[in-house]
Amino acid sequence: MDIAGSLLLAIALMLIIEGIFPFVFPDTWRDTFRKIAERPVHHIRMGGLIVMVLGLILLLIAT
């Protein structure tokens, strides 16, 4: 599989995983999303940084 196919596969899997929670637990997902949105911007940014670093580490382990 070429790089474009791998990227498309990764995006497809991300969308599937992202869609599971609002589909299965819509009320909990909405409440959690609302609580996250009320946090200070630097907390949201730090959470995003942590998730990106974890993703990078997993990517490096997988390759």
Tell me the pLDDT tens digit for each residue of 6-61. 889 989 999 999 999 999 999 999 999 999 999 999 999 999 999 999 989 988 88
Distances from the Cα of 34 to the Cα of 2, 19, 20, 22, 37, angstroms: 39, 17, 18, 13, 5
CB neighbour class for 36 (10 Å; exposed up to 12, middle 13-18, buried from 19): exposed
Around Cβ 39, how many Cβ atoms within 10 Å? 12
2 band by pLDDT with thresholds 50, 70 and 90 = confident
Task: Quote the CA–CA distance of 63 and 60 in Å, as a whole number.
Answer: 5
